[in-house]
Amino acid sequence: AQSVAQPEDQVNVAEGNPLTVKCTYSVSGNPYLFWYVQYPNRGLQFLLKYITGDNLVKGSYGFEAEFNKSQTSFHLKKPSALVSDSALYFCAVRDLTGGGNKLTFGTGTQLKVEL
Amino acid sequence: GAGVSQTPSNKVTEKGKYVELRCDPISGHTALYWYRQSLGQGPEFLIYFQGTGAADDSGLPNDRFFAVRPEGSVSTLKIQRTERGDSAVYLCASSLGTGLTDTQYFGPGTRLTVL
């Protein structure tokens, strides 16, 4: 079965510093990986995805993610964090069983950016 | 353009009652998904539709849960004889198609509370 793990429940970073939110995956076959962000009382907003090609994927709001096949990781990064980036971040993998159209999500990482 | 919309935003009901949750996908999106997010967890897949038919309902927890999409657009998730354990945020998503690269876009969710 496809799965992702987010090892950190919470990440704290100072505004202006780089941020990393970690995600590792376990899949059979090619991985299709996604990052979403969730603000309080709102749904999930798509940030970026890795399908194939370049290992560095650029997404919305200045976020990027680095796909590393040897480490089975897909960490989310941003060079300079903003207080407004504070939110809950979810990594997800496309589950290719049963038609391949469902996402399996991690448990989420709460990002807190402080002044 | 308009995103995925869900109504109601909040629903409080009593144990044993019947509830309906509505999802209106992005115009032109052929695929529609339902997920359930419990407190402190990532979303969990329930069911997805390609057009009018349920292509994968493997995530529905039991036969009290049922979903329809009669005209291939709006979908309704129906829960019979609600239980306190059904309390969660129910998220709907849609995608343009069901290709492996298609992105799922989420609505704001319906928060269901069963007393």
pLDDT reported for residue B69 = 96
For residues B60 and B75, give the distance between their C-alpha atoms in angstroms, rounded to a whole number: 15
CB-facing half-sphere around the CA of A46: CA atoms within 13 A: 19
Q: What angle do CA B62, A97, B88 make, to 5 degrees?
A: 40
* Local structure of residue A55 (DSSP, 8 states): S
Bridge partners for B5 per DSSP: B24
pLDDT score of B100: 78
What are the beta bridge partners of residue B53?
B50
Task: Name A78's bridge partners.
Answer: A19
Tens place of pLDDT for every residue, chain B, 115 residues?
589 999 999 999 999 999 999 999 999 999 999 999 999 899 999 999 998 998 899 999 999 999 999 999 999 999 999 999 999 999 999 999 888 788 999 999 999 999 9
**In the predicted model, is pLDDT for residue A108 greater than 90?**
yes
Q: Is the pLDDT of residue A101 over 90?
A: no
Enter the tokens of residue A18. Answer: 């780089």
For testing contact with chain A, the best of B7, B41, B50, B56 (most A CBs within 10 A):
B56
- pLDDT band of residue A1 (cuts 50, 70, 90) is confident
Mean pLDDT over A97-114 rounds to 89
Is residue B76 within 8 Å of residue B60, measured between CB atoms? no
Which residue of chain A is at minimal alpha-carbon distance from B41? A107
Q: Does A46 touch chain B (CB under 8 A)?
A: yes
Minimal Cβ distance to B48: which of A49, A101, A107: A101
